[in-house]
Structure 1
Amino acid sequence: MTTTERVTFRSGDDDVVGTLVLPDGPPRGAVVATGPLTSVKEQASGVYARAVAERGRVGLAIDLRRFGESGGEPRQMVDPESDAFDASAAAAYLADRFPGLPVAGLGVCFGAGPMAVAVARDPRFAAFAGVAGVYTDGAAVRESMGAAYDETVARGLAAEQRWRETGVVETIPAVAADGESGGSEVAMPLDEAYAFYGTPRGAVPTYVNAFAVASWAHTLPFDAQGAAPAMRVPAIVVHSERALVPPWAHSFHDALPAGSRRQVWLESAGQIDFYDDPALIDPAADAVVGFLDDVLG
C-alpha cells in the first residue's frame, strides 16, 4: 500500500507541482523522479515514483516548469539546465520534509540527463539512477547534424526572442502518426512515441502534444555526458540495447567514477515499454532500489 499527496514548492519564481508517494511504513530514503521529453508526472516519472514507494522509499514525481500543472513560461519549452534546477528544488523540498533521509535522483529517458547534471552539482543528492536514459552527447549531436545544427539553434533562439517580444509561443507537435503532421515537423518522430503519447495508452489530461521551437536553443547544445565524471555519489544505469542510444548509456556509465557505479541491461522491445510495461518497470525498479539499499542503506 502507498499513500499519494499533491505537493507544491517553489523553483525560482515559479510553482512546481508534484505527486508525492509515501510507502507503507517508515521510509528508508526518498527519490525525485523526472521523465521523458514533454512528459508530465502522471506518466513515466509517476510510474517510477510509485514503484520506489512500493519498495520502501518516498517517491516524488514532478511536472517540470512550463509543463503540466507547474508554472513557468513559455509553455512547452524544454530547457535542460532549468530542469536540473527544478530537480534540485525537489531535492530541497524532500530534505526539508524528511530530514535525515538520503535523497536520490532518478531520470527516465531524456530526464536522465538533466537529473545527472543536478546530482553532479547538488550535494543534497546522495545517489543517481537513470532508467532508459538518453545521455546526450553535445559534440556528437553537433557533428551528426552538420550545418543544420547552427541553423536549428538559431531558429530556436529566434523563436524565444519572438516569445519575449510578443508572448506568442511557436510550437510543433511532440508526436504524430507515422512521424508526420500534415507534412510539418515533429519533435519525436518515432512510431512508438506516438503509440504512447498520441493514444489512450499514455495520454493523460494534463499532457499537451506540443514542443516549443525555442527548445532547440537549449536541448541541442546540452551535454549530459560531462556529468558522469563529475558525479561524486553512487550511480546506476538501467538500460536496454533496444532502448534509445545505448552507446550513450554505455559511455556515460564508463565515465562514472569507478567503485560506486553499476549497470543493469534488460531486454526490452524498445524505449517506451520502460514507461508502462510491468515486465520492464518491475525489474528496473528492483535494480534501482536494490542499488540504493546497497549504497545508502
Structure 2
Amino acid sequence: MFKQSLLLLLGSLTIAVLPHTVSATTHQHQLSSQEITMQKIELSTQVGPLAANLYLPEAHPNAPLVIVTGAWTTVKEQMSAVYALALAEQGFAALTFDFRGWGESADSVHYLEDPARKTADIRAVLDALDQLQGVDTTRIAGLGICASAGYMLDAITGHGKVKSAAVVAPWLHDKAMATDIYGGEAQVQTLLAAAEQATKAAQPVYIEAASNSNVQSLMYQVPYYTQTDRGLIPQYDNQFNVASWSGWLNYDAQAGAAAQDKPVLMVASDAMALPAGARQYLDSAGSNVRAVWLEGISQFDFYDQPEAVSQAVDAVVTHFAATL
C-alpha cells in the first residue's frame, strides 16, 4: 500500500577527461511544418561520450540554445523531446541528451538515478557546447523538468556560460521532505539499506521502473510511464538501479537556492506532485527566481499533454526572451 500511494505522487537522470568535441551523424529529420531539423550527435565530454539530439529551427540560424532535461529514469526521447521541439518551433535551438548509463549513452554504471552524477553530466554538456555548429553559444539556457529541475538548478549556479534557466513541474525535495514522502524514517532506512546492499553486490541490482502488472516495480500503475502512447516508448530503458536510493534520498535540492545567481522561472501548479518544494525554493532564493502558477495541471500532464505543454512553453519562451 505504501508503494502504491507513494509512487502515484512521483513524476517523478573516476572521471575521464576527454576533448570537448562533437560529431554529428548524417541523419536529419524534418519534424514539423515549421522546418525543424533534428541531428543525432555524440558529445565528447569530461564524463565521457554522451548521446544527444540537437533540434534546430531552420528559419532561425544561430539561435539561442536551451539544454533540456527530463524526469527521473527517463531518456532524451521522452518529455524532454516534447519541450525541445516546442522550443524549436518558437525559434530556439534545443539539445536533449542521455545521462551516463541511460539510453544511448554507454557507461559501466547503468540506470543510476544519482543527483550528483546527473548534475555533473549537465555541467559536462554545458562545457562541451562550444563545438556545436549553427547555434549561438553566447546565449545558453537550461530547462529542467520534474526531478532534473533540481539537477539543472544546481548545475547552472555559478556556471559562466549559462544566462538563464527555467524549470517545469519541479520536484525539489530536501532530506526532510524525502523522509516524509517515502513513509518515514524507518522506511527510508530500509531503502538505504537496500541501496547499500546493492552497491556491495557482485552484480548490479535492477528493478523494473514502470509496470501495470509488476507490483515490485518502482512505479506501479503510474500514468505516463506505463502508457505506450506516452512514456513507455521503445527507447525507454525502464530500469532502476537499486543503488540509486542512497543518492536520491539524501539529495537536497533546496541547498543551493540562496546561491542561485541566474534568472530562473518556475512553471508550477498546486496539482503537481511537490508544490511545497517549489515554494520552499522560492522562499530561500533571491528575487531573480520567480514562479508562474498554472491552474489544475498535474505532474504527468506537464510532461506531454498539448494544452499543459503549450502554457508552460509560452511562459518559458517569454522568460528566455527577456533574459537571454
- TM-score for the superposition, normalised by structure 1: 0.89
Paired position in structure 2 for 1:79: 114
Deviations for 1:29-86, whole angstroms, at most 9, x for unmatched residues? Answer: 1110110111111110111111111111110011111110011232111111111111
1:124 to 151, 161, 172: 161
Give the residue type in structure 2 aligned to 1:140: M
Letter aligned with residue 101 of structure 1 = T
Aligned 1:20-169 pairs, distance under 5 A:
20-23=54-57, 24-97=59-132, 98=135, 100-142=137-179, 145-162=184-201, 166=202, 168-169=203-204
- After the TM superposition, which residues 133-282 of structure 1 pair with which residues of structure 2 at under 5 Å, given as runs? 133-142=170-179, 145-162=184-201, 166=202, 168-177=203-212, 181=214, 183-184=215-216, 186-189=217-220, 191-193=222-224, 196-258=225-287, 260-282=288-310
Letter paired with 2:121: D
Separation of aligned partners in 1, 2:297 and 2:248: 26
RMSD: 1.9
Residue type matched to 2:115 in 1?
P
Q: Indicate conservation of the 8 Å contact 2:297/2:308, yes or no.
A: no
Q: What code does the residue aligned with 1:187 have?
A: L
Give the partner amino acid of 1:288.
V
Moved more, 152-161 or 89-98: 89-98
Per the alignment, residue 320 of structure 2 pairs with: 292
TM-score by length of 2: 0.82
Aligned residues of 2:62 and 2:136 also touching (Cα < 8 A): no
**C-alpha deviation, 1:120, in angstroms:** 1.4
Q: Which runs of 4+ in 1 moved over 4 A?
A: none
Q: Percent identity?
A: 32
Distance (whole Å) between structure 2 residues aligned to residue 49 and residue 290 of structure 1: 15
Q: Against the structure 1 CA distance between its residues 197 and 7, is the aligned structure 2 distance closer, same or farther, given a 3 Å change threshold?
A: farther
Q: Distance in 2 between matches of 1:47 and 1:272?
A: 13
* Greater strand fraction, Structure 1 or Structure 2: 2
Query: Per-residue deviation at 1:279?
Result: 0.2
AA partner of residue 199 (structure 1): T
Deviations 1:159-216 (A, max 9, x none): 1221xxx3x2211221222xx62x42x32346324xx444333222211221110110
Higher helix share: 1
- 1:16 match: 50
Contact (CA 8 Å) 1:11, 1:85: kept in 2 or not?
no
Write the letter of the residue equivalent to 1:76. Answer: Y
Distance 2:296 2:50 in 1: 32
Alpha-carbon deviation of 1:237? 0.2
Q: 1:28, 1:101 within 8 Å by CA — same for their partners in 2?
A: no
How far is 1:121 from its partner? 4.2
Question: Using a 3 Å threshold, how does the CA distance of structure 1 residues 92 and 152 change in structure 2: closer, same or farther?
Answer: same
Describe the shift of the 1:11–1:223 C-alpha distance in structure 2 as closer, same or farther (beyond 3 A).
Answer: farther
Is the Cα–Cα contact under 8 Å of residues 47 and 121 in structure 2 kept in the other structure?
A: no
User: Within 1, Cα distance between the matches of 2:41 and 2:81?
Assistant: 13
